[in-house]
Amino acid sequence: MGLKVGLEEKLPSGFLLTTVEKLAGYMRKNSLWPATFGLACCAIEMMAAGAGRYDLARFGMEVFRASPRQADLMIVAGRVSNKMAPVLRQIYDQMAAPKWVLSMGACASSGGMFNNYAIVQGVDHIVPVDIYLPGCPPRPEMLMDAILKLHEQISDEKLGANREKVVKEVEKAALAAKPTHQLKGLLA
Amino acid sequence: MTKNFEDHDSNNLIPRNDEFGLSKAEQDSKFIADQAPAPLLKQLLGFWVTFKSMFKKVNTVQYPEVKEPTAPRFHGRHQLNRHPDGLEKCIGCELCAWACPADAIYVEGADNKPNENYSPGERYGKVYQINYLRCIFCGLCIEACPTRALTMTNEYELADDQRGKLIFEKEDLLAPLRNGMVKPPHPMYPNTTDENYYRGEVTSAHPSQGTVNND
């Protein structure tokens, strides 16, 4: 999920890199373009967040792109059925490299009240999720709150040598973690 | 029945009814609208709605800076309430967990020890978890609660980056200790039963129950 343009490899780690990191983070977080990916009722609230009253344009997000190639944030808004799962993964794979996933609502985050054979029990079984948003459906303020929390994450993101270090640590932790399908209790 | 451009009636901007059920090939040969630009006055008239909206009040809520209050009965995060002396209202009956359509609530009850009560009466909720990724905020748990222990607040900013963080434990859900409350476990108000608590007859803590919270 890192920026790979060949520029950051040539940069010396240290002061310059952190400055570039801050600048890139600032720019990325203020120009997130979400992919249009409404699956159910959450999408209605997502549309409301894009409209005049809540106005996502204030955060540089007014353009919901119909093509995943132009988007860098996937807002999974709604329940993901098993039939939709490969499509969702394909859309995620088609998105260009620095990309984030926001799991909006109870159904996308964990299956919600649909604990049955048709619904994927949490979209994190298919794609890595950066921020979970509870609610059924979450009101537009909740979506904006999640987006702002994601913005904070993005602005703190590392580049180049620092990025590799973080990625290695994350991968180590992910390999050591219990697979999602083995989790028991309320985490399942 | 083809028409050329000169034959076309320039006043007729709206397509005639008989033009609609035509095949694609026939439609291409037909003129649907006049290609000539509309008169200047008509063009300006199109901007009238745009012009009017310049004087309207701005509709946008500046959310992170200005937070519009929710409806008073908005279904937000849950809260486990307390009696006026600090004892918890939850008796660990699990009715909320049974009512929950999404299986988001997990309760484990336990027996109160004598003079070390967490709640008036026999039992208290020892483990209380709500999985906010499952919760659909329907409020059936609140309807089911026999002691009004579980209610909902208007707080809605719940997003987080890990699934585990969104399972709220009892400590996250419990109402804060207010002034004049005693932190449980402590004995019940002297010479009362749990019935007195439910009737609202215990209105403050007794000195024998422990040191009072004075934040």
* Nearest Cβ partner for B61 among A53, A115, A132: A53
For residue A85, pLDDT beyond 50: yes
**Which residue, among B74, B133, B160, would best test binding to A if mutated, counting the most A CBs under 10 Å from its CB?**
B133
Burial-class residue A116 by CB neighbours within 10 Å (0-12, 13-18, 19+): exposed
Chain A residues close to B137, C-beta within 8 Å: 135-136
Question: Could you tell me the domains of chain B?
Answer: 2-53 (no CATH), 78-209 (3.30.70.3270)
pLDDT tens, residue by residue, A161-176:
778 888 888 889 888 8
pLDDT at B74: 94
User: What pLDDT does residue B91 have?
Assistant: 94
Interchain contact, B106 vs A142, CB within 8 Å: no
* Per-residue model confidence (pLDDT) at position B212: 87
Alpha-carbon gap, residue A165 to B121, rounded angstroms: 55
Q: How much is the pTM? A: 0.80
Low-confidence residues of chain B: pLDDT under 50: 1-4, 6-7, 10
Q: Are A122 and A187 in contact (CB under 8 A)?
A: no
Amino acid letter, residue B164: G
Q: Strand, helix or coil at B116?
A: strand
Q: Testing the interface with A: which of B63, B70, B137 to mutate, by most A Cβ within 10 A?
A: B63
Interface pTM, i.e. ipTM: 0.80
Buried b (16+ CB within 10 A) or exposed e, B36-46: eeeeeeeeeee
Residues A76, A125: contact at Cβ < 8 Å?
no
- The region, left, alpha or beta by phi > 0 then psi within -120 to 50, assigned to residue A145 is alpha
pLDDT at B137: 94
Q: How far is B182 from chain A (nearest CA, A)?
A: 32
Residues of A in contact with B61 (CB under 8 A): 53-54
Q: Do B63 and A122 touch (CB under 8 A)?
A: no
CB proximity B169 to A under 8 Å: no
pLDDT at residue number A141? 93
Give chain A's mean pLDDT: 86
- DSSP SS3 for B82: strand
B124 in reach of chain A (CB within 8 A): no
* Residue where the block lists tokens 């199109």: B46
Span A39-44, average pLDDT: 92
Q: Is the pLDDT of residue A80 over 90?
A: yes
Contacts B153 to A, Cβ<8 Å: none
Of A53, A141, A186, the CB nearest to B131: A186
Taking CA–CA distances from A185, the nearest residue in chain B reads B106
On the question of pLDDT at A1 being above 50, the answer is: no
Q: Contact B10/B39 with Cβ under 8 angstroms?
A: no
**Quick one: pLDDT at residue B43?**
82
Residue-level pLDDT at B71? 93
* A111 close to B (CB below 8 A): yes
Per-residue pLDDT of B69-124, as tens digits, reads 999 999 999 999 999 999 999 999 999 999 999 999 999 999 999 889 999 999 99
Range list of H helices, B110-191? 140-144, 170-173
- With tokens 């270090």, the residue in question is A165
pLDDT at residue A103 tops 60: yes
In angstroms, rounded to a whole number, what is the distance separating the alpha carbons of residues A168 and A140?
35
